[in-house]
Amino acid sequence: MPPPQQARQSPPASKPPIPSDFKSPWIDKTAEACAAFLHAMPREENAYAEPVNRFLFTALTEFSKEDDTVLMCRVVLEHEEDESREDRNMPAKNEDGSIKVEFFPVATERVQMSMWTNDRLKFAEKMGNYQKSRMAKGEPDRSQGKRYW
């Protein structure tokens, strides 16, 4: 059984009302930039679980409001592209050195459940279903990542 956790102080967060001139630091950032930020965060020593998921996150795009969707993003790991890699948590890199991220839109009403369940394990399957559905309907594919079929 793990030792009891010490009470942890959460960092200060935005509190309402947010000033009208507030500009989110995430505007105009890529999914790769968000992944780099998450992976650069300090890690908690001896923590039973980290408060931040460094491999699965969500983002909004210019289509989120119109389509009522949230982008489900997944950091691709090196061992997924090269099975000889031993470090199971090392992010794969793009040719420009940025962290490789795959993503696809998820209906807003389903994104919370997707984050809480085992969707990281089923990410490829769900992304493939999204891609096939868009292709069958002749709608634009707003995903990024290899084809899963």
Look at 27 and 8; give whichever has higher pLDDT.
27
- Average pLDDT, stretch 6-24? 72
Name the pLDDT band for 1 (thresholds 50, 70, 90).
low
Q: Partners of 73 in the beta sheet?
A: 57, 103
Beta strand pairing call for 56-59 and 101-107: unpaired
Q: What is the pLDDT of residues 96-144, one digit of tens each?
A: 989 999 999 999 998 888 887 766 678 888 899 999 999 999 999 999 9
Q: Does any domain span residue 21?
A: no
Q: Look at residue 102 and tell me if it is in a domain.
A: yes
Distance in angstroms (rounded) separating the CA atoms of residues 77 and 89? 6
Residue 142 domain-assigned (yes or no) = no
pLDDT in tens, 50-79: 777 888 899 999 999 999 999 999 998 887
String of DSSP letters for 26-88: TTT--HHHHHHHHHHSPPPTT-SS-SS-SSEEEE--TTHHHHTEEEEEEEPBHHHH-TT---T
Place of tokens 């691709």: 76
Q: Is the pLDDT of residue 145 over 90?
A: no
Task: Examine the pLDDT at 13 and tell me if it is beyond 80.
Answer: no
Domain that holds residue 128: 31-43+50-137
Residue 108 lies in a domain: yes
Residue 106: inside a domain: yes
Look at residue 3 in the predicted model and tell me its pLDDT. Answer: 67
Q: Is residue 61 in a domain? A: yes
DSSP three-state, residue 108: helix
In a domain, 98, yes or no: yes
Q: How many domains is the chain built from?
A: 1
Is 126 among the domain residues?
yes
